[in-house]
Amino acid sequence: MTFEIRERDLLGRIGKLKTKSGTVETPALLPVLNPAIQPVAPERIRREFGFEAVITNAYILKQNFQNRPVEEGIHKFLNFNGVIMTDSGAYQTLVYGDVATNAEEIVRYQEQIDTDVATILDIPTGWKVTEENAERTVKETLKRARELFKLRTKDDILWVGPVQGGKYLNLVAKSAQQLNRLPFQINALGSPTEVMERYRFDVLADMIMTAKLNLGSEKPLHLFGAGHPFMFALAVALGCDLFDSAAYALYAREDRYMTENGTYRLHELTNFPCSCPRCCSSTPKQALELQQNQRTIFLAEHNLYASSAEIKRVKQAIRDGRLWEHLEMRAHSHPALLQAVKTLAKHKEFIEKHSPATKKSGLFFFNSISLMRPEVVHYRRMIQQRYTQPEGTTTLLLFPQTRTKPFHRSQEYRRIARALKKPSLAERESHTCFYAAPFGVIPIELDEVYPLSQHEIVLPLDEETIAYVADRIVDYINRKSYKKVILVRDEATWNKTVEARCKKACAKRRISFKSFNLKKTLS
**349 occurs within a structural domain:** no
pLDDT of residue 48 exceeding 70, the answer is yes
Evaluate whether 428 touches 455 at the Cβ level (below 8 Å): no
The stretch 264-273 carries a mean pLDDT of: 97
Give tens-digit pLDDT for 169-215: 999 999 999 999 999 999 999 888 889 989 999 999 999 999 999 99
- CATH number of the domain to which 209 belongs: 3.20.20.105
DSSP state of 387: -
CA–CA separation, 146 and 165 (whole Å): 17
Q: Tell me, what's the pLDDT at 147?
A: 97
Q: Are residues 159 and 43 in the same domain?
A: yes
- Please report, for residues 34, 131, 141, 181, 347, the alpha-carbon distance to residue 174 in angstroms, rounded to integers and kept in the order given: 34, 13, 12, 11, 18
Helix or strand holding residue 193 (H, E): helix 193-197
CA–CA separation, 225 and 465 (whole Å): 36
pLDDT of residue 99 exceeding 90, the answer is no
Three-class DSSP category at 213: helix
Closest CA to 87 of 67, 66, 68, 113: 113
Number of independent structural domains in the chain = 2
pLDDT of residue 521 exceeding 70, the answer is no
pLDDT of residue 246 exceeding 90, the answer is yes
CA–CA separation, 224 and 191 (whole Å): 8
Q: Are residues 381 and 315 in the same domain?
A: no
pLDDT of residue 222 exceeding 90, the answer is yes
Burial 209-228 (b: 16+ CB within 10 A, else e): bbbbebbeeebbbbbbbbbb
Evaluate whether 434 touches 405 at the Cβ level (below 8 Å): no
Q: For the whole model, what pTM was predicted?
A: 0.93
**184 occurs within a structural domain:** yes
Burial 54-83 (b: 16+ CB within 10 A, else e): bbbbbbbbbeeeeeebbeeebbebbebebb
The stretch 1-5 carries a mean pLDDT of: 87
Evaluate whether 334 touches 204 at the Cβ level (below 8 Å): no
- CATH number of the domain to which 381 belongs: 3.40.50.10630
Q: Tell me, what's the pLDDT at 425?
A: 42
CA–CA separation, 164 and 207 (whole Å): 9
pLDDT of residue 107 exceeding 90, the answer is yes
Q: Tell me, what's the pLDDT at 429?
A: 82
Say if strands 22-26 and 158-163 run parallel, antiparallel, or are unpaired: unpaired
**348 occurs within a structural domain:** no
Q: Are residues 261 and 372 in the same domain?
A: no
Three-class DSSP category at 69: helix
**442 occurs within a structural domain:** yes
Q: Which one-letter amino acid corresponds to residue 508?
A: K
Say if strands 186-189 and 158-163 run parallel, antiparallel, or are unpaired: parallel
Q: Are residues 310 and 382 in the same domain?
A: no
Q: Tell me, what's the pLDDT at 91?
A: 76
CA–CA separation, 439 and 346 (whole Å): 19
Q: Are residues 94 and 182 in the same domain?
A: yes
The torsion angles phi and psi of 454, rounded to 5 degrees, stand at -110, 60
Q: Tell me, what's the pLDDT at 311?
A: 97
Q: Are residues 313 and 431 in the same domain?
A: no
Q: Tell me, what's the pLDDT at 156?
A: 96
pLDDT: is 99 or 131 the higher one? 131
Residue 225 pLDDT level (bands cut at 50, 70, 90): confident
Annotated catalytic residue, options 9, 87, 116, 206: 87
Give tens-digit pLDDT for 320-360: 999 999 999 999 999 999 999 999 999 999 999 999 988 98
pLDDT: is 421 or 506 the higher one? 506
pLDDT of residue 149 exceeding 80, the answer is yes
Give tens-digit pLDDT for 74-94: 999 999 999 999 999 887 877
Give tens-digit pLDDT for 436-483: 999 999 999 999 999 999 999 999 999 999 999 999 999 999 999 999
Q: Are residues 315 and 383 in the same domain?
A: no
87 is catalytic: yes
Residue 80 structural domain? 3-321
pLDDT of residue 1 exceeding 60, the answer is no
Closest CA to 17 of 192, 160, 177: 160
Residue 523 pLDDT level (bands cut at 50, 70, 90): low
**357 occurs within a structural domain:** no
**346 occurs within a structural domain:** no
Q: What residues does 163 pair with on adjacent strands?
A: 189
The stretch 132-149 carries a mean pLDDT of: 97
The stretch 43-58 carries a mean pLDDT of: 96
Q: Are residues 26 and 112 in the same domain?
A: yes
**338 occurs within a structural domain:** no
Q: Are residues 254 and 399 in the same domain?
A: no
Distance of CA 191 to the CA centre of its chain: 19
Three-class DSSP category at 501: helix
Evaluate whether 211 touches 172 at the Cβ level (below 8 Å): yes
Q: Tell me, what's the pLDDT at 66?
A: 81
Q: Tell me, what's the pLDDT at 422?
A: 53
Crossing angle (nearest 10°) for helices 374-385 and 463-479: 20
Helices (H), 201-276: 201-214, 232-237, 247-253
- Write a three-state SS string for 312-359: HHHHHHHHHCCHHHHHHHHHCCCHHHHHHHHHHHHHHHHHHHHCCCCC
Can you give the C-alpha Rg of the chain in angstroms?
28
**270 occurs within a structural domain:** yes
Crossing angle (nearest 10°) for helices 497-508 and 463-479: 20
CA–CA separation, 438 and 461 (whole Å): 9
Portion of the chain with pLDDT greater than 70, in percent: 96
- Please report, for residues 291, 294, 395, the alpha-carbon distance to residue 282 in angstroms, rounded to integers and kept in the order given: 14, 13, 70
Q: Which of 321, 353, 386 is the last residue of a domain?
A: 321
What is the 3-state composition of the chain as percent helix, strand, coil, each rounded to the nearest 5?
45, 20, 35
Say if strands 22-26 and 221-223 run parallel, antiparallel, or are unpaired: unpaired
Q: Which of 321, 344, 379 is the last residue of a domain?
A: 321
pLDDT of residue 423 exceeding 60, the answer is no
Q: Are residues 298 and 434 in the same domain?
A: no
CA–CA separation, 370 and 457 (whole Å): 10
Helix or strand holding residue 287 (H, E): helix 284-288
CA–CA separation, 207 and 138 (whole Å): 14
Q: Tell me, what's the pLDDT at 426?
A: 44
pLDDT of residue 519 exceeding 90, the answer is no
Portion of the chain with pLDDT greater than 90, in percent: 86
Closest CA to 20 of 110, 155, 113, 119: 155
pLDDT: is 283 or 494 the higher one? 283
Q: Tell me, what's the pLDDT at 92?
A: 80
pLDDT of residue 53 exceeding 50, the answer is yes
Q: Are residues 375 and 298 in the same domain?
A: no
Q: What residues does 264 pair with on adjacent strands?
A: 257
Evaluate whether 21 touches 82 at the Cβ level (below 8 Å): yes
CA–CA separation, 78 and 445 (whole Å): 63
Q: Are residues 166 and 277 in the same domain?
A: yes
